[in-house]
Amino acid sequence: MDKIINEAISTILSSRKDIMPVFLRQKAKFEGWLKFELAHKLEKQGMKNVEVESKHERNRSRCDIAFEYEYHNYKIELKTPNTNWKIAGIKNSIRPITKNIQSIIDDTRKLNSSYGIVAFVLFPIPIHNTSWKSYIERINERTGIEINESNYRLLEFQINKQDKCKLLVCSFKSRVFNELF
């Protein structure tokens, strides 16, 4: 299911190349918009009882999206962490990415289920930069979940007529087998 979520998010973002530069130029988080686009897409793909900001059964916390598929109840936590790399055409602002990555780790802990999926879009990334891999490694180390090339894809976007950047779309099952926290 995490691969289906990754494909859905990638398709949504790629189909909206008209609006993405608005988010990118300002390093503006777009989680709220993406949450509803993803819920709508999942419903169109046949998922049942799709809800946004659904309450967890066992506690008071909420997950971003919940749905049923093939008799299983899935929960998705979605994040759009922004980076602090300097990229031409993008507003230069310093935002601490450490807290953004920690929130992904926290969501993994919160769901901790074979039917929980953590999905995030890390942005913006300079075209030839591979430093983002260190963030994937940090998530791997702190959760014990192996995130590899099958869990993510890089998308390229035009910011303006001359500048481009990349976004990393990543999703994985949140089951934490060994408590490393």
- pLDDT over threshold 50, residue 145: yes
In a domain, residue 158? The reply is yes
| Domain membership flag for residue 12 | yes
Q: How far apart are CA 168 and CA 115, in angstroms?
A: 22
Calculate the average pLDDT of the chain: 92
Structural domain boundaries enclosing 92 = 2-173
The verdict on residue 34 lying in a domain is: yes
Of 67-81, 87-101, 128-142, 154-168, least confident by mean pLDDT is 87-101
Whole-number Å distance between alpha carbons of 69 and 115: 10
Q: How many domains does the chain have?
A: 1
181 within a domain of the structure (yes/no)? no
- Domain assignment of residue 83, yes or no: yes
